[in-house]
Amino acid sequence: MAGFGDIVGHEQIIWHLQNAIRMGKVSHAYLLNGEPGSGKKLLADCFAMTLQCEAGGIDPCMECHSCKQALTNNQPDIIRVTHEKPNTISVEDIRTQLNGDIQIKPYSSRYKIYIVADADLMTVQAQNALLKTIEEPPAYAVILLLANNADRLLPTILSRCVRLNLKAVRDQDIREYLMDKMKIPDYQADVSLKFAQGNVGKAVQLASSETFAAMKDEALSLLHETDRMELYELMDAVKKISDYKNDIDSFLDIVTIWLRDVLMFKATQDANSLIFREDLSAITVRARKSSYEGLEEMIQAVDRARARLKANVNFDLVLELLLLTIKEN
């Protein structure tokens, strides 16, 4: 768990939360809304730890008894609402873990804080049960709702929460974090950034994912060899690609980015602007071989393949057509 200063991006949200602490105007209910991996949990954990910190500052001290408890998830006045069913938070979950507990005063801290992850999975009944508590909370209660899609929550819930929408983080900030903190090579950081689109959690996951690395290597290897493959070898290649069937969008993204790198290098001869800089040798070969029209046709073929897969056209047939187009251009 980190302090606010260790969080990448989200400066406006951090300022709002710290200012609420500084001014003594902490609300009873907050809604942190953003896609998975955007940083909701990190912000909520840091806010909760700061509120309970015995030093009384706008950042957790990390040294007091409360902070040490929070760091090991043992702070008795920071409660995480859980749910057994994977895609639903039931009315019983809310009644048992929140409504039935909130009237008991804090064990050892100023606040009693409830963190409800996946709050948008609450049933309507669960939301209505929570609404009664949010309308008349005890003075010491703070409820933090974390949602991937706030539009699933009732308007009555939304109107009673301070809503904080997490925005995309600047690529440069994520890049610095990946390279400086995680020691990720620059080219690998750039590839992760391209896919993460401002999502720090996704960038970190991709940069450290062996599965993603294997998929990228498989895609690049295929792109290097496609124009030399016989028809039967293309069929074998499709079978290999089927290993990534559940993440075919990412596989096709890799293909598209590599082809755009080839197009960019053909036009500029500038390797610094490439995402796959470590693959410059193969990119140079393809740039010499293919025309501008051929490269555009290959990129369009990827887009067509993506559309056909979404329309449930046969997977093997779609990929065969794509590889044939790449081979012929």
Domains in the chain, start-ordered, CATH in brackets? 4-165 (3.40.50.300), 209-328 (1.20.272.10)
Query: Where is mean pLDDT largest: 44-48, 232-236, 265-269?
Result: 44-48
Region 264-280: what's the mean pLDDT?
85
Confidence bin at 213 (pLDDT 50/70/90)? confident
Residue that wins the pLDDT comparison between 209 and 69: 69
Taking the C-alpha atoms of residue 50 and residue 6, their distance in angstroms, rounded to an integer, is 13
pLDDT above 80 (res 225): yes
- Taking residues 218-226, report their average pLDDT: 86
Count CA within 13 A, CB hemisphere, residue 75. Answer: 30
Q: What is the reported pLDDT for 273? A: 79
pLDDT for residue 74 is more than 80? yes
pTM for the whole thing? 0.74
Residue 21 CB-density burial (10 A; 0-12 exposed, 13-18 middle, 19+ buried): middle
Q: Tell me, what's the pLDDT at 278?
A: 81
Q: What is the mean pLDDT of the chain?
A: 88
Torsion angle of alpha carbons 229, 235, 236, 237, nearest 10°? 70
Label residue 292 exposed, middle or buried (CB < 10 Å: 0-12, 13-18, 19+): exposed
User: Does position 1 have pLDDT exceeding 70, yes or no?
Assistant: no
Query: DSSP code of 51?
Result: H
pLDDT band at 68 (very low <50, low <70, confident <90, very high): very high
Element (H, E) at 70: helix 65-71
Mean pLDDT of 112-133: 92
Number of residues that this document lists for the chain: 329
127 φ, ψ to 5°? -65, -40
pLDDT at 7 over 90: no
Please tell me the distance from the alpha carbon of residue 260 to that of residue 177, in angstroms, as a whole number: 26
The mean-pLDDT minimum among 4-18, 120-134, 266-280 falls in 266-280
Which of 41-45, 250-254, 306-310 is predicted most confidently?
41-45
How far apart, in Å, are the Cα atoms of 83 and each of 3, 96, 157? 27, 11, 19
DSSP secondary structure letter of residue 121 = G
pLDDT at residue 207 tops 70: yes
What mean pLDDT is predicted for residues 24-44? 91
17-21, 183-187, 228-232, range with greatest mean pLDDT? 17-21
DSSP state of 75: -
Most confident of 146-150, 196-200, 314-318: 146-150
